[in-house]
A and B are shown apart, each in its own frame.
Chain A
Amino acid sequence: MTETTPVTDTNGAAPVVGEDQPLISVHDLEVGFQTQNGIVNAVRGVSFDIYPGETVAIVGESGSGKSTTATALMKLLPGNGDITGGKVLVEGTDIVDHDEKQMAAIRGGVIGYVPQDPMSNLNPVWSVGFQVREAIRANGVATGKKEIEARAVEVLQQAGLADAERRMSQFPHQFSGGMRQRVLIGIGLGADPKLLIADEPTSALDVTVQKVILDHIESLTHEKGTAVLLITHDLGLAAERASKVIVMHQGRIVESGPSRDLLTNPQHPYTQRLIAAAPSLASRRIESSSAVAEAGVGADKFDVAQMAEQRAEKVDQDAAPIISVKNLTKEFQIRKGGFKSETFRAVDEISFDIPKGTTLALVGESGSGKSTAAKMILGLEVPTAGDIVVGGTNMTNVSRKDLFNLRARMQPVFQDPYSSLDPQRSIGATIAEPMKVHKVGDKAARRARVLELLDQVSLPEELAGRYPNELSGGQRQRVAIARPGAQAGRGRARRGGLRARRARPGADPPAPGGPAGRARAELPVHHARPRGGARHRRQRRGDGAGQDRRVRHHGRDLRVREAAVHAASARRDPGRRDRVGRLTLS
């Protein structure tokens, strides 16, 4: 299963140097983490080679050990982690017993690193220029103040920061996520390393920026003949960017090989599941489906129209919509330094209805105003103008008491599973909190409901006593999905409610059944896919009511397609259909 064959670059270029000797050679690598319950083995006997100039991708869901493997190559494991077995040869030398000084020589100069989250990976108190110069100085690429400065500007420009010179003295918080990631790419490639480890370099970024960043990494490394180790959860993306793909699951390599072979002929069931779940492959299916539809070929498994048809449900046209939004507008005052301020229109006269029991997807890139709209509906933000009617109650001038009662029927699933869970509260307490606040059931009933909800999102019962920091990102997202179910799912409260969700696109793809699977299916339209198994089959119909609406975005006008998708949400028990309206943001 762990065959490792050297492959030439997808673009046909031959490996640059040392064809016969791998740049990195990993043999039976084992990594263990010290936890309260003893040592947990995150990586269990992993072996692979990376040859100079080639691009290798490691694919797996969160917790599969892919990031741990990557950080082990640089010996940058967190404090409680350690390489417990095997060998890591960098240019023929085993680094397992290297001390800090020896590792410092390898880091940056031989192995460059582009981390996952551009928001947290730059030190907020130092200027961007300082942090780039530091990387250059450390690796001796340039000496002397002027040369280092010049090299830093050059590196940033190459990474795609056009006005690098001017922005050198600015601080990370003055940069957008995409710009920060460019800075980090600049730092990673600053010393011309032979291998660049890119650990989910785009999963925290906007869809529109992702491709640009990946293209940039690809062209830069190709130019210099740098080998790339790409860590991702998206098999489609891996296949597109890498010549060789390694699939990891629970700390082991389950399959590896040339990307095309792996994609067209997956052997391991886990790989097959990954292919079915890969977001980028799903969007490609949608793209190809329109071509298929034009050609008049139906009944293809790539037919997105049919997919939507399957999901569709007759909507009771006479019933009043559960949520009605009219000319909703939100303006913010942005300070311009000194005494001046400027009005920024985040949401510009949008109107839509959400009929009972349907799902409405609001799609747009970050800054398009979709989250602001959702916050206003939830009553977390006061609209500048316009009306919101939720279940017959107008949200303008709503009393605190009415708002409280509305919130029993209206629950968000927040975007970031890391910061939206209180680190001081156990998972069980977090899920039970809405029920407690709204006085639903007694203690025992709430406890039972918590366990039921955990089960519905395929999380084991033991998790109720754990704290967020003891869960993986994917598990946290499932908790975030379970939480709103707490009171919305019970008896009277169930009739007519709203769940706004913007599930994190980075959460692991092979989501299991229950609400987690459902929420995944409700991810942005281009992520949606038909799912096998009666439990998952939900009908969805793009009712053709998708309206084009203009949303202003930093001075540009973006056309945001508002796909109104009606759905019946069949629970595990198909006879018990809830009537929960949903607003999905993506």
Chain B
Amino acid sequence: MTRYVLRRLLQAIPVFFGTTFLIYFMVFSMPGDPVLALFGDRTPSDAVLQAVREQYNLDQPFFVQYLLYLQGFFTGDMGVTFSGQSVNEVFVRAFPVTLKLVTIAVVTEFLLSVGFGLLSGLRKGKFADHASLVFALVLNSVPPFVALFVAQYFVGIKWGLAPVTVGANATWGALLLPGVTIALTIYVVGMRLMRGSVIEAREGDYVRTAYAKGLTSKRVVPVHVARNSLIPVITNSAASFGALIAGTTVTEGIFNIPGIGKVLYDAILRGENSTVVSFVTILTVMYIVVNILVDLLYAVLDPRIRYV
């Protein structure tokens, strides 16, 4: 078990270097001079430009810049943004907001998947099955930003049931509307996975044995059917966890949420290498850790899986 976790973490090392290098290289290769862009319409003197370049190590060759960056990263200093804030601080402020948003989205997505998947699977071929599929597909085919605008307009503005924007003080309540909206647009995949495994489990011999013991559906369905069907759904939800953290830019833009997505977007526009790379690196590490946790969760859900 410990050995398994260690091995997985070791595997993460090349992933770490690969991602950081790739991201750093891509940002480095972006057209335009970030230092010039920083001054907008004004034209600074060469001496000032030189000073700024030196401050951000932009005068160094690419590899030196990259190594200097890595050095900083490992000593816990992710650099400074162009506006003078430390990247660490920005991250610490933005990250919990995004985490809250994504948690709401993933939990809702999981519940919708399990609920509707179970319903569809148990009523395979009946009206409820078809209806829930059509419903989920319609929601899934709406582009997320459209869904978010619609939700914002109706729920937030017209009916006044939720705050229209989130703002600096991002509370759970304020994040509920964007989170649930995201979940509604993606849950169809998890639902279909759940439906498939429920149909398979229902025909399983052990389910028949459970009924033969004298149990009723009330017990057999949750304990023997649903429990055995959860594994693929959990994988799917966990995978969407990673994808969502990296993909909240649009949501955070529409609802004015001060999370990672927004900071990242601004940093990319400004060409702030260290901010972009640091954020992406942390997200990569988190993605890896979440995946290890999911794999460990398998062992809890399915005792046949033992890691050695």
Residues of A near any B CB (own CB < 8 A): 71, 74, 76, 78-79, 100-101, 104-109, 112-113, 115, 117, 120-127, 134-135, 138-139, 171, 173, 184, 187-188, 190-191, 335, 339
Contacts and interface: CB of A to CB of B under 8 A. Distances in A.
Interface string B170-209: 0000000000000000000000000000000011111111
B203 A76 contact: no
B6 to A, nearest CB: 12
B153 interface: no
Given A104-B214, A125-B228, A138-B215, A173 B206 contact: no
Interface in B195-239: 202-217, 219, 223-224, 227-228
B228 A123 contact: yes
Contacts of A135: 213-215
Interface of B: 3, 202-217, 219, 223-224, 227-228, 301-304, 308
Which of B202, B212, B303 counts the most A-chain CB atoms under 10 A from its CB?
A: B212
Contact of A74 (B205, B212, B227): B212
A261 B207 CA distance: 39
Contacts of B301: 125
A121 B206 contact: yes
Overall SS of chain B's interface: helix
Contacts of A112: 212
Given A121-B205, A124-B303, A125-B227, A76 B211 contact: yes
A100 B221 CA distance: 13
Given A115-B205, A121-B206, A122-B206, A108 B212 contact: yes
Contacts of A184: 209
Given A124-B304, A125-B227, A107 B213 contact: yes
Given A120-B204, A125-B302, A173-B304, A107 B209 contact: no
B214 A138 contact: yes
Contacts of A117: 205
Contacts of B224: 123, 126
Contact of A107 (B203, B205, B211, B308): B211
Contacts of B223: 126, 134
A191 B213 CA distance: 9
A136 to B, nearest CB: 9
A534 B209 CA distance: 46
Which of A76, A112, A125, A135 counts the most B-chain CB atoms under 10 A from its CB?
A: A125
Contact of B215 (A104, A106, A120, A339): A104
Closest 6 CB pairs of A and B: A108-B214, A113-B212, A135-B213, A120-B205, A123-B206, A107-B214
A123 B228 CA distance: 8
B303 A139 contact: no
Nearest to A173: B304
A335 B308 contact: yes
B213 A108 contact: yes
B214 A105 contact: yes
Given A107-B214, A138-B215, A139-B214, A78 B303 contact: no
A147 to B, nearest CB: 18
A138 to B, nearest CB: 4
Which of A76, A105, A106 counts the most B-chain CB atoms under 10 A from its CB?
A: A76
Contact of B203 (A79, A139, A188): A79
Contacts of A113: 209, 212
A139 B214 CA distance: 7
Which of B209, B214, B301 counts the most A-chain CB atoms under 10 A from its CB?
A: B214
A531 B104 CA distance: 71
A482 to B, nearest CB: 27
Contact of A138 (B204, B213, B302, B308): B213
B209 A122 contact: yes
B208 A123 contact: no
Given A125-B302, A171-B303, A191 B214 contact: yes
A416 B228 CA distance: 24
Which of A100, A122, A123 counts the most B-chain CB atoms under 10 A from its CB?
A: A123
B205 A187 contact: no
A190 B210 CA distance: 13
Which of A76, A104, A122, A191 counts the most B-chain CB atoms under 10 A from its CB?
A: A104
Contacts of B205: 115, 117, 120-121
